[in-house]
């Protein structure tokens, strides 16, 4: 049995979808912070992502899911097991459009990220006073702060509030983490390793597609010269020697450009399949 902390808020939907693809259903139970989990070996509780890393470090939970930004901000000593590559954001310093930012002038800085902000500002030589914000940080300038340190995904919120980035401090994504002592417990480690394997196989499957195609015997060698694969394509002879069936796994992002190349190399009847998991 392991105790797992999952994030509350905007990250929760992607986390639930990931577990569902792993074969584990996590469903909210009304207003309760203890959702239903279909795996009887996992006890799940919903927590604020800001708190999860420290709670995992302290042993309240054996494992958790939170943003890399909050691991850095809290300074928690945990084992980062998988970069889930979800909810990617940048932590940036931003000021009002047209603001004359001078390092010899004391500025007021607002952020939820106090430790990250203080380290950045000190390393850059700024004179500053700090205000801890608790959400809606973009609303502070220009009346209440000269600069904010905030996470951005697209930058639209900064633009809507007439702010512009003056530097990227940190890039963050969602991470699966574990308590160090829990990884020394054989039973808990086996369960955590099981989750790591499932997560990695789902993430790999999401980034790949399976391609199947037919090709005449005379075009097989040319097709092989342009056909990518995880290791080597699978080739099977068609009935009555009428050519070959070829199967391969390729990066999803490359398919659009790859298919015309395959057609020019003689491939026909090309089929594309989504993949649920790839276990290595």
pLDDT at 151 over 90: yes
In the prediction, which pLDDT does 28 show?
85
Q: Are 152 and 58 in contact (CB under 8 A)?
A: no
Q: Cβ(145)–Cβ(132) under 8 Å?
A: no
Q: Between 12-21 and 186-206, two packed helices, what is the crossing angle to 10 degrees?
A: 100
Structure tokens at 164: 């512009």
Q: Is the pLDDT of residue 29 over 90?
A: no
pTM of the model: 0.90
Banded model confidence at residue 10, pLDDT cuts 50, 70, 90? confident
CB 148 within 8 A of CB 92: no
Q: What is the mean pLDDT of residues 132-149?
A: 95
> Looking at residue 62, what is its pLDDT?
98
Find out whether 51 and 33 touch, Cβ atoms under 8 Å.
Answer: no
Is residue 30 over pLDDT 90?
no
Q: Can you give the pLDDT at residue 198?
A: 97
Label residue 76 by pLDDT band (50, 70, 90). very high
CA distances from 242 to 98, 194, 220, 236, 247 (A): 69, 44, 12, 11, 17
**What does the chain come to in residues?**
280
To the nearest 10°, the Cα dihedral for 12, 13, 14, 18? 100
- Token pair, residue 100, equals 């004359």
pLDDT at 225: 96
pLDDT in tens, 199-228: 999 999 999 999 999 999 999 999 999 999
pLDDT of residue 204: 96
Residue range 100-119: average pLDDT? 94
> Alpha-carbon distance 82 to 200, whole Å?
7
Q: What's the pLDDT at 199?
A: 98
Over the chain, what is the mean pLDDT?
95
pLDDT the model gives residue 261: 97
Domains (ranges, CATH) in the chain? 2-85+173-205 (3.40.190.10), 89-172 (3.40.190.10), 208-274 (3.30.70.120)
pLDDT at 241: 87
Task: Supply the pLDDT for residue 230.
Answer: 93
pLDDT band at 104 (very low <50, low <70, confident <90, very high): confident
Rounded distance between C-alpha atoms, residue 151 and residue 160, angstroms:
15
Residue 215, CA distances (Å) to 162, 174, 209, 232 in order = 57, 42, 19, 16
Q: Which tens digits make up the pLDDT trace of 45-59?
A: 999 999 999 999 999
CB 42 within 8 A of CB 49: no
CB-CB contact of 142 with 96 (8 Å): yes
Intra-chain end-to-end CA distance of the chain, in Å: 26
């Amino acid at each position: 049995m392991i105790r797992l902390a999952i994030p509350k808020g905007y990250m929760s939907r992607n986390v639930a979808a990931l577990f569902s693809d792993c074969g584990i259903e996590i469903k909210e139970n009304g207003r309760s912070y203890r959702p239903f989990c279909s795996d009887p070996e996992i006890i799940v509780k919903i927590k604020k992502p800001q708190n999860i890393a420290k709670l995992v470090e302290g042993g309240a939970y054996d494992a958790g899911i939170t943003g890399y930004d909050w691991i850095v901000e809290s300074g928690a000593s945990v084992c980062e097991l998988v970069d889930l590559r979800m909810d990617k954001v940048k932590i940036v310093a931003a000021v009002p459009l047209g603001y004359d930012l001078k390092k010899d002038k004391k500025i007021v800085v607002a952020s939820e990220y106090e430790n990250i902000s203080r380290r950045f500002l000190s390393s850059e030589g700024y004179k500053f006073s700090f205000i801890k914000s608790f959400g809606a940080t973009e609303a502070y300038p220009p009346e209440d702060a000269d600069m904010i340190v905030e996470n951005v995904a697209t930058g639209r919120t900064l633009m809507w509030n007439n702010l512009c980035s003056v530097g990227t401090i940190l890039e963050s994504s969602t991470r699966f983490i574990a308590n160090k002592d829990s990884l020394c417990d054989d039973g808990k480690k086996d369960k955590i390793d099981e989750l790591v394997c499932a997560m990695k196989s789902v993430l790999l499957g999401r980034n790949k597609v399976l391609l199947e195609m037919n090709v005449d015997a005379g075009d097989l060698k040319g097709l092989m010269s342009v056909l990518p694969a995880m290791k080597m394509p699978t080739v099977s002879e068609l009935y009555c020697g009428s050519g070959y069936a070829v199967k391969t796994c390729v990066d999803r992002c490359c398919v659009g450009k790859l298919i015309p190349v395959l057609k020019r190399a003689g491939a026909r009847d090309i089929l594309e399949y989504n993949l649920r998991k790839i276990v290595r």
